[in-house]
Structure 1
Amino acid sequence: MRVAITGAGAVGRSIARELIDNGHQVLLIDKSPSAIRPERVAHAEWLLADSCELSSLEEAELDKCDVVIAATGDDKANLVTSLLAKTEFGVPRTVARVNHPNNEWLFTEAWGVDVNVSTPRIMSALVEEAVSVGDLVRLFTFRQGNANLVEMTLPPESPYVGTPSGLVPLPDNCSLVTILRDGQVYTPTGDQPLEAGDELLFVCPTEIEEELEALLSPRDRRS
């Protein structure tokens, strides 16, 4: 897979190394001459260019990329890059970094963004996930599918402790995808009983999150 990453700072370089280690072809793009340091990611291609300029993206041959990751520290640049990648070059998948939480609402398909990555939101979700038992925590939003990846640590008082996962009457359009237990990852088989303390990962639309939470962890939420 060919991936273009705009922004060759610490974030962009880290992503590039990870992708290269996984066998992908990576192009790093940055408009700052001081950022072009090929020795930092030796197996990547490097290009000195402004990703907000159409001519620069043509030089980068973005039409041959499977994914574009806009990872600069400038939200405006990340939005423009994503929009050009999607509308002018037909890149199948765009991922954009959100630097300032107040700008997150802009990072949608209307601006060519398939997936936005907001560091403050991710950190907040991870904190909630670590301390919350019986509360549904949204970890990730799949923009194109109008669905979310959500997590719940099953509380001891849940009526479904000991119930085979396949017999839990989940809401329509909701799927249990993974059970995390004692440091192990389990694929739900349908006959596997749920245990108190299980971390359950679901994919479901936003509108049924409250229903799912009430089903697995019923309690008086007015207090």
Structure 2
Amino acid sequence: MRVAIAGAGAVGRSIATELLENGHTVMLIERESDQFVPETVEQADWVLGDACEVSTLEESGLELCDVVIAATGDDKVNLVVSLLAKTEFAVRRVVARVNNPANEWLFTEAWGVDVAVSTPRMLAAMVEEAVSVGDLVRLMTFRQSQTNLVELTLPEETPLAGRPVRDVDLPKDAALVTILRGERVIVPSPDDPLEPGDELLFVSHSDVEPQIRTALGY
């Protein structure tokens, strides 16, 4: 997969390194000369230019990319890059970084964004996930389908202890996708028993989250 990243700051370089380690081809686009340091991520292709300019994107061959990640520290720039990538270069998947949670409502399909990643919201969700037991925590939102990845850790006194997954009567627009048990990652089957301390990951529509709580006995 070929991925273009707009913004070669600490965030952009970190994403590039992870993607390269996973075998993907990465291009970093940076407009600030002091951030243009190819030796920091030597395996990536580097482009010095403004990702908000169509000419820069044309010269970099953005239309050949499968994914564009708008990862700058400026929400306005990330929105413009997302819109250009989707409308002018027909990039299949666009991921945008949200720096200010107040701007999150803008990061939608109307601006070419398929997935919006809000760093403050993600950090808050991770804190909630770390301290919340027996409550549903929203980890992230999938903009295209308007569904969420949510998590619930079963407490010690859960009424579901020892009962199989099939006994959890989930609503129509929700699915249990993973059970995290210690160091194990379990793809659930109907006969798998649930245990106290299990971290249950669901994909669901926000409207049915109360029904998930009810199905789990909360």
TM-score of the pair, normalised by structure 1: 0.95
Work out whether 1:87 is the aligned partner of 2:84: no
Partner of 2:177: 177
Partner of 2:210: 210
Partner of 1:61: 61
Work out whether 1:159 is the aligned partner of 2:159: yes
Pairwise mapping of residues 116-195 of structure 1 onto structure 2 (< 5 A)? Answer: 116-195=116-195
Q: Is the 8 A contact 1:96 1:107 kept in 2?
A: yes
Q: Which runs of 4+ in 1 moved over 6 A?
A: none
* Per-residue Cα deviation, 1:132-184 (whole angstroms, up to 9, x for no partner): 11110011111112211100011234332221002211111211111111221
Q: Percent identity?
A: 64
Work out whether 1:3 is the aligned partner of 2:10: no
Matches of 1:33 and 1:131, distance apart in 2: 42
Q: Which moved more, 1:4-13 or 1:208-217?
A: 208-217
Q: Is the 8 A contact 1:155 1:217 kept in 2?
A: no
Partner of 1:26: 26
Q: Is the 8 A contact 2:170 2:211 kept in 1?
A: no
Unaligned runs of 5+ in 2: none
Matches of 1:33 and 1:187, distance apart in 2: 47
Matches of 1:215 and 1:160, distance apart in 2: 10
Pairwise mapping of residues 193-204 of structure 1 onto structure 2 (< 5 A)? Answer: 193-204=193-204
Q: Which moved more, 1:147-156 or 1:67-76?
A: 147-156
Q: Is the 8 A contact 1:134 1:217 kept in 2?
A: no
Matches of 1:141 and 1:215, distance apart in 2: 22
Across the two proteins, how many residue pairs are aligned to each other? Answer: 218
Unaligned runs of 5+ in 1: 219-223
TM-score of the pair, normalised by structure 2: 0.97
SS in 2 for 1:207: helix
Matches of 2:13 and 2:211, distance apart in 1: 41
